[in-house]
Structure 1
Amino acid sequence: MEDIVIVQDLYVSYHGNEAVKNLSFSTKAGQIVGIIGPNGAGKSTLLKSLLNLIPRDKGQIKIAGKPIHEMRKKIAYVPQRSNIDWDFPITVIDTVVIGTYPNLGLFKRPKKREREWAYECLQKVGMEEFSQRQIGELSGGQQQRVFVARALAQKAELFFLDEPFVGIDVSSEETIINILREQKNLGKTVLVVHHDLSKANSYFDELLLLNRELVKYGAVAEVCRPDVIKKAYQGQLSFLDEMGMTVS
């Protein structure tokens, strides 16, 4: 497998504070990678900088050997639910249709074919019966399924998800992780900002453990060692206890 995401010497500031520093790593294609770390570690900042949604102070980011602006159409992004205006007057189906826009020509509007494809994507996440609902009328898990459907509608090669499992029901979480596994099996690459390490072994192929700087990147078993986790979480013993870890 080739390296598809390559980050070299990345520094990023957010609201005037250094959020990520001296970060270098590379990710193989066809993997599901979890981005983990304590609160304030720079996880979401890293994801946004990979997408060029926030500027970097220095460093290089290449996606499939190209700069991000050349690959943007190939990357689907699912933001944190807290960053979405759920009062916006848009239906579920129209939300998913938006995912088809990157593949339309300039000034072209989606037509019947795009709407049919959007409906298929809703079926994949089990949300077709809610297609005419306003997105704010849905539960948290249903909302997240809709945004995963929007990502699928883009026919992307890479999927970047920021805390997709926060505040959702178990059924929706299972639906979403199964969709991500399907994309992996199709050779797609998935990066997920995540916080629940109890599920890391079943969800991810590799983990990137971050606390502003890179603490460890590699297979789940290598990263989820107590000594490595303790280094990143710096004395958050209650967190380690929740994971069933004992650290001397």
Structure 2
Amino acid sequence: MSSAIQVEDLYVSYHGNTALKDVTFSLEAGNLLGIIGPNGAGKSTLIKALLQLIPRDKGQVTFLDKTVKEIRKQVAYVPQRNDIDWDFPITVLETVLLGTYPKIGMFKRPKKNDKEWAYECLKEVGMEQFYKRQIGELSGGQQQRVFLARALAQKAELFFLDEPFVGVDLGSEETIINILKRLSNQGKTVTVVHHDLSKAENYFNKLLLINRELIGFGSVNEVFRPEIMAKAYKGQFAFMKEIGVSV
């Protein structure tokens, strides 16, 4: 079976300082992958480098045996909330409609069926009643659900989410993870930058552990082990004990 995501020898640096080095892994379609690691480990850098949102120093990345440029329409990305201009004058429904643009084209007006599809995506995340609201009027959890709806509207094969659970309420978090699991069960490939280790075992079926370089990659049982986690978190033993990892 061909890989949904294939990464070979990836290196990334900022102003001459190494951010990621020698990252190599292969992920098959239908997996729900959590990217974990300590603060400053390069989790967000990795996802942005995969999508060519930042330059790579070296390395090869393919999605379904194609380059990012070749398969861009099939890749949906949900950035961190602090990367979004919440004051931009756009409604909830208009935000979700943006997810249809890769298919219909940037300079074509959405048709009735596109608007109906966007509304259906809002219903899936439980936000249809807010469709006329300006996005800045929503709570953090509501905003994150709207941007997930935008990703759903794209009808993508690969989904990348950068810290989707930060600053959201428990109800929104449950809604989001249930949708991500459903996408995975449908054969879609979902990659999530995640910081809360206490939920990693319940949320993902694969984990990628980094601290500027790849420390562990595989099933949750293979990666979520004391000797593997300690390599990434090093001296943070008290923190690891708090989340139930015996060291």
TM-score (norm 2): 0.97
Matches of 1:17 and 1:85, distance apart in 2:
29
Matches of 1:14 and 1:239, distance apart in 2:
28
Query: 1:111: how far off?
Result: 1.6
Query: 1:242: how far off?
Result: 1.8
Name the counterpart of 1:148. Answer: 148
Query: 1:106: how far off?
Result: 6.0
**Which aligned pairs between 1:22-41 and structure 2 lie closer than 5 A?**
22-41=22-41
Query: 1:197: how far off?
Result: 1.4
Contact kept, 8 Å, 1:30 with 1:188, in 2: the verdict is: yes
Runs of 4+ in 1 over 4 A off after TM superposition: none
Query: 1:243: how far off?
Result: 1.0
Matches of 1:8 and 1:231, distance apart in 2:
22
Partner SS for 1:4: strand
Name the counterpart of 1:185. Answer: 185
1:137 equivalent in alignment to 2:137: yes
Contact kept, 8 Å, 1:29 with 1:189, in 2: the verdict is: yes
Q: Deviations over 1:123-171 (max 9, x none)?
A: 0000000000000110000000000000000000000000000110110
Matches of 1:26 and 1:226, distance apart in 2:
23
Point out where structure 2 has 5 or more consecutive residues left out of the alignment: none
1:17 equivalent in alignment to 2:36: no
Query: 1:94: how far off?
Result: 0.3
Change in CA separation of 1:106 and 1:127 when aligned onto 2, cut-off 3 Å: closer
Contact kept, 8 Å, 1:12 with 1:20, in 2: the verdict is: yes
1:209 equivalent in alignment to 2:228: no
**Which aligned pairs between 1:50-129 and structure 2 lie closer than 5 A?**
50-105=50-105, 107-129=107-129
Partner SS for 1:164: coil
Query: 1:112: how far off?
Result: 1.2
What RMSD, in angstroms, separates the aligned Cα atoms of the two structures? 1.0
Contact kept, 8 Å, 1:3 with 1:27, in 2: the verdict is: yes
Matches of 2:98 and 2:242, distance apart in 1:
40
**Which aligned pairs between 1:164-183 and structure 2 lie closer than 5 A?**
164-183=164-183
Contact kept, 8 Å, 1:14 with 1:45, in 2: the verdict is: no
Matches of 2:15 and 2:220, distance apart in 1:
32
Name the counterpart of 1:45. Answer: 45
Contact kept, 8 Å, 2:78 with 2:151, in 1: the verdict is: yes
1:229 equivalent in alignment to 2:229: yes
Change in CA separation of 1:131 and 1:15 when aligned onto 2, cut-off 3 Å: farther
Query: 1:18: how far off?
Result: 1.2
Query: 1:226: how far off?
Result: 1.0
One-letter amino acid of the counterpart of residue 157, structure 1:
E
Point out where structure 1 has 5 or more consecutive residues left out of the alignment: none
Structure 1 stretch displaced more, 49-58 or 9-18 = 9-18
Total equivalences in the alignment: 247
Identical amino acids, percent of aligned pairs: 68
Matches of 1:171 and 1:103, distance apart in 2:
31
Query: 1:244: how far off?
Result: 2.0
1:195 equivalent in alignment to 2:200: no
Matches of 1:2 and 1:180, distance apart in 2:
22
Contact kept, 8 Å, 2:2 with 2:65, in 1: the verdict is: no
Matches of 1:90 and 1:106, distance apart in 2:
16
TM-score (norm 1): 0.97
Partner SS for 2:119: helix
